Amino acid sequence: MKLDAESEKQMQRGRVGVGPEPPKYLNEDFFKAALEDGLRDMRVDIKKIIFAESSGGGGENYCSKIYRAKALYRSSKRQLDEELALIVKSIAITPATQFLEELAVYLREKIFYFDVLGKLEVLIGDGSKFGAKCLYTTREPIQTIVFDDLTQYGYKLASRQSGLNEEHCVVILKKLGKFHASSMLLAEKEPSVREHFTTGMLDENYIRTNERFINFMTLQLRTLANLVAKWPGYEVLATKLHRHCDDIKENLVTTGRPLPGEITVLNHGDLWVNNFMYKYDDLQPTKPIDAIFVDFQNSFFGSPGCDINFFLNSSVQLDVLIHRREFLIQTYYASLRESLERMHSEFVPSYADIQHEIQARELYGFFSSYAFLPMVTMKKEDSYDISIEALTDQDFAKKKVQLMFSSNPRTTDTLRYALRRFDELGIFD
């Protein structure tokens, strides 16, 4: 898309890389409004906007377009020339992304950032940050949210292709324990907060009415079942996968449905490698010291077993999964318990309670392992052209799903282990 002449000149002067061409509406007026809102300033003068190549794009962000911009500005409050790196996330509603409207993801994320995030960070009370600062949201001309860019504070994405080693898992699970704990307290103090976060991506009405979603889930699981049938010794398991796929709609409803009496926390709802960022030790650049979540559009109140199983089955290196699973759950629990005790919560679940929640939600982990893991682990060169729009082409989708299961050996290695484990737990019976 063409920009007005002045913006065009600024872009050419300052652009880094060749990120997605920014749409026309992301002009100086847009950023002026965003900064005045976000910085609570009467008047911000924009000196220059520089668009950089986004870390998003093919294979990194499937549902939204992500633009990175640096705003050079002067605020009336401080009267200094300053700069701020921003992430602009836009969700254009097209026939392919209509489901995002049905799941109310824009509204949910907006409510999370403006009404929930700050309260959780105050409750936890130890300076922990759970999310980036949200500066601005607008529905016009398309749904757009502007965030502080965490990379300017030293946060980085881990490799989705390699998955997380034990050290990275420990950091994120400690943070998840704090996040879940503070959400339990918030729900106790303000029960109405639950109203906006009743269901995540496995919303029953959505599963029953969205044929496109069901067709794609069927394609992924059927492709996996056909692949597994060729593995020596997995023939019976392949039959069970086909049977599960025959009734996929009901099985997905069961996977997402709340269970009576379960412990409830605010689940992040989409806990895979690209949805949290790590900060590293200055002296040991591979040692993670903190993590912050991004993307709360699928958050919902439900069992902590949902987030934990989704994470373990989409994001963790296989050797860690095989040998350190119990340790990782203990790490999460210690953080949850310690946080609840520090906040003087009346209810502190036992370790057995949390183990029960995780066991009761193994189906959620299975969903993560066939619907997310194969896509998450794809090599960049295989996934660069994947988007929700592109996957509406059936031939393209078939070709890409085949590739999902063959692109990275980590996928099939993990699935050989995970499917055996699920079968032994009896989740297909």
The pair of three-digit structure tokens given for residue 258, joined into one six-digit string = 């709340």
Could you list the beta-strand ranges (E) of 309-428: none
**DSSP tag of 131:** B
Helix and strand element counts for the chain (H, E) = 18, 10
The pair of three-digit structure tokens given for residue 195, joined into one six-digit string = 């109203």
Predicted pLDDT of residue 382: 74
CA distance 90 to 26: 10
List pLDDT tens digits, range 125-144. 999 999 999 999 998 888 89
Contact 422, 362 (CB under 8 A): yes
Would you tell me the crossing angle of helices 351-360 and 318-342 to the nearest 10 degrees?
A: 130
Pairing of strands 155-156, 300-302: unpaired
Predicted pLDDT of residue 78: 85
CA distance 339 to 333: 10
What's the average model confidence in pLDDT over 17-27?
71
Contact 213, 102 (CB under 8 A): no
Tokens 């987030």 correspond to 307
Residues pairing with 155 in the sheet? 279
More confident residue, 21 or 340: 340
Q: What is the pTM of this model?
A: 0.90
* Phi, psi of 424, rounded to the nearest 5 degrees: -65, -30
What's the average model confidence in pLDDT over 239-268?
97
Structural domains of the chain ordered from first start: 164-425 (3.90.1200)
Pairing of strands 300-302, 265-267: antiparallel
**In terms of Cα–Cα distance, which of 126, 221, 136 is closest to 181?**
126
Least confident interval from 86-95, 138-147, 317-326, 359-368: 86-95
Residue 12: which pLDDT band, with cuts at 50, 70 and 90? very low
